[in-house]
A and B are shown apart, each in its own frame.
Chain A
């Protein structure tokens, strides 16, 4: 695995794989990631909002059993190992996207694995919003919807972005694992082309690509979160 460059023929062959396939693998990784993040937030964001607003002391209390159920589902999905969850959920992919193999087939299991994380991230961010500000909005006659959309989400934006960055990194990690069941992208390149075929240069190149992506997302996320946080003094 660490003896990479002793056989020039192998090196040339691997370099050719990299030049011809790497770009597409990055593209596949990014587009699957984008779809997964979007759907994870489509489900996870409202779920996170409900976790905060629906509790007993929240601004719009929901029946206790419903909150218990919501919490139980989220905890359950969070505690099943991703690889197992992916295999369990694959039949659902057949129903939803019509296939059990390929990059698209990995999206439903990824979303199901990721939205509970998103829900918890959103929940944590929204809990940071000062209760006094919410009370002030209530005193002005704001409705529940207005409090969520005009107070809680905007006030929590920097924290939501930080949470989103963490989510992005985690989903990217899941995506690499999805390579095992045929999901495309850098993960598949590392495992199928690289590890299983003893093409370790390809494997390392894919791994480095994933590391770089995480680094880029993380620093961009941190910067964006800081630049949109009006609570920070000495903004430029």
Chain B
């Protein structure tokens, strides 16, 4: 399938001289129509810059952004504005117009597009229903809670009938329960309207709950990209491990003993492999750290174990573990 959005070799640097910060370096990502795509990274990883480059709120220094195969960076200002109506955006701080009612906020993008006031109000009322706040039409933003504001912002984003919805830390200012309900709303919008959703977040739970695929951004570079299940169950990059299992990635002990990292897919194995290792091979290992995660309803585990000093025995351990379905083990050094 042709990607709806294709980010090609994007680079962006802020500042100059000694203050230069490379926010993005050679970032390439393809986003498929209809998917919920997550971009995760710690703060300063370049997530916000990346999402702002998609609708060119931020101009990349190098690289291209293709929307339906069309390079947005080459469009004239007017053409770009037309395309932006197809790529809506919601924000961490909601960014509603404080001096307008909820209804008029939702009418705003329609007003920009020259839709008649009557039609705009009708559509805005429908969207208020969609986001579950039909009784808040005449409320001003100050009278709404954070979750309600984000719902109004979502309704406003949907008003121009977009194909893509960019969410820039849209749930980061909300409590867990509200976050959950906003994510469910986004999921419903994705399912019912077929809108492609791109979510920028630093919260693992957000990605786990609704994303199909995820890219891990680390210091302006895509460290890892793939389906959420595989990336989160067995991250291949350092940044991925730090994000997925921070406790296991940075254990308290020093790395003076040989160590292995094991990833479990609980859907495929329920065997007590560590105990079996001791029974079958007579090799005892100690557990240095362990963590389990729930990704899309499936359990995934990560564990750090000590390995024998003897190199041949180490190989036996790793081979034994890797022979089990749903288990992968590898020796790690120093920084996991």
Which of A's residues lie within 8 Å of B, judged by CB?
130, 132-133, 135-143, 146, 150-151, 154-155, 157-158, 228-233
Residues in A whose Cβ lies below 8 Å from that of B160: 140-141
Q: Is the Cβ of B82 less than 8 Å from the Cβ of A130?
A: no
Per the bound structure, the CA–CA distance linking A137 and B166 in Å amounts to: 14
Contact with A along B74-101 (1 / 0, CB 8 A): 0000101111110111010101111110
- CB of B320 within 8 A of chain A? no
Q: Is the Cβ of B97 less than 8 Å from the Cβ of A140?
A: no
Q: Is the Cβ of A140 less than 8 Å from the Cβ of B85?
A: yes
Residues in A whose Cβ lies below 8 Å from that of B108: 137, 140, 150
Q: Contacts A132-B91, A132-B93, A150-B112; is A140 near B98 (CB within 8 Å)? A: no
* CB closest chain-B residue, reference A130: B95
Q: Which of A139, A146, A157 contacts B99 (CB 8 A)?
A: A157
30 contacts between A and B (CB under 8 A): A130-B95, A133-B98, A135-B57, A135-B95, A136-B89, A138-B84, A139-B55, A139-B87, A140-B84, A140-B88, A140-B89, A140-B108, A140-B109, A141-B80, A141-B81, A141-B84, A142-B81, A142-B112, A143-B81, A146-B112, A150-B112, A154-B97, A154-B99, A229-B99, A230-B100, A230-B140, A231-B99, A231-B140, A231-B142, A232-B142
**Is chain A's binding surface mostly helix, strand, loop or mixed?**
helix
Per the bound structure, the CA–CA distance linking A155 and B98 in Å amounts to: 7
Q: Which of B82, B97, B100 contacts A141 (CB 8 A)?
A: B82
Q: Which of B57, B97, B100, B113 contacts A139 (CB 8 A)?
A: B57
* CB closest chain-B residue, reference A158: B99
- CB of B181 within 8 A of chain A? no
Q: Is the Cβ of A136 less than 8 Å from the Cβ of B142?
A: no
Per the bound structure, the CA–CA distance linking A172 and B85 in Å amounts to: 47
Per the bound structure, the CA–CA distance linking A155 and B108 in Å amounts to: 13
Q: Is the Cβ of B143 less than 8 Å from the Cβ of A233?
A: yes
Per the bound structure, the CA–CA distance linking A45 and B82 in Å amounts to: 29
Residues in B whose Cβ lies below 8 Å from that of A154: 97, 99-100
* CB closest chain-B residue, reference A133: B95
Q: Is the Cβ of A155 less than 8 Å from the Cβ of B91?
A: no
Residues in A whose Cβ lies below 8 Å from that of B95: 130, 132-133, 135-136
Q: Is the Cβ of B96 less than 8 Å from the Cβ of A140?
A: no
Q: Is the Cβ of B99 less than 8 Å from the Cβ of A150?
A: no
Per the bound structure, the CA–CA distance linking A233 and B140 in Å amounts to: 9
Per the bound structure, the CA–CA distance linking A233 and B96 in Å amounts to: 16
Per the bound structure, the CA–CA distance linking A137 and B160 in Å amounts to: 12
